[in-house]
Chain A
Amino acid sequence: MAPGPLPGGVRVTAPILTQTPLGRRHVMRRRIAAAVAEALLRMAAMVGIAALVLLLTVVTRDGFHRLSWDFITSFPSRFPEQAGIRAALLGSIWVMALTTVIAVPLGIGAAIYLEEFAPRNWLTRIIETNINNLAGVPSIVYGLLGLALFVRAMELGRSILAGALTLALVVLPIIIVSGREGLRTVPPSIREAAMALGATRWQTVRHQVLPAALAPMMTGIILALSRAIGETAPLITIGALLFVPFDPRGPLDSFTVLPIQIFNWVSRPQPAFHEAAAAGIIVLLTVLLSMNAIAIAIRYWSERRRQW
């Protein structure tokens, strides 16, 4: 056998190992194991990519011809050819705007407190553990909470505000966790430098730590919000409408959102509605992928700038 690189970076010269039959068999076995492992790992990676490609292909094939300005600006209709996503898109925008306004300051505030101010004791540890647990709670459970708390107890009804508050609860733990991760990317030496200049803890955070942590925190926020925009279950639970033939005009109006509108169309028997659903999915995916692209761009941009 010719000498050459072996799997795992081992390099042997021919005479030493391959002289004995044992050595040759051993080398062969290791080569085969490495090749099999690599093939399996590559397949695992391909499954994910294939799923995405398949999804995009099917959706595009079914829905692309339904995409038009009319589709975006029309209300839903019982005639599938005239149905559009206007109300759902506006509803999604309203809900997302309110969710952002509610969840981002709360989440970032909590992250800053836990990371920069809180003493390291048992109480903080309990809070931390619970936030991590909350991030894993199924969103429909938040829907039930929202229904009991916002819709009924606070009498907000099936409003945009109730939906936004519920979604804020869903994404709050994610924002807190990713916010803390962002703050941890700032080296402690920056905090020490500011404190040693006589800055208070707040001045240190406000003027040095936050600006340096902003980009990674933004990435986390956008990813959390892109989860919220696709959430359906909690909003159906609190009673977002399936059919909304009007523009939502304020936080207390009833509403629907894109994923609910899509769900509605998919559940109709007529194939033409399924095409509308596919077109709606394209719109939703476009919004989602753009949000992710912004997050990636921010991460790329900040990593290039940061040099410590």
Chain B
Amino acid sequence: MAAVLDPPIPPEDVEKIVPVVEALEAAFRPLQRSLPHDADVWTGPAE
């Protein structure tokens, strides 16, 4: 994905950021799976 972005992310920078994003996604997946099917998005403080 990083290779097709415009402007591209240089390979040496990709190596640094991908592990960070993968770790974040790994922490996020269980939370994501816990979402009820009918959960709506947050749209602002007045809801």
Asked if chains A and B come from one complex, the reply is: no
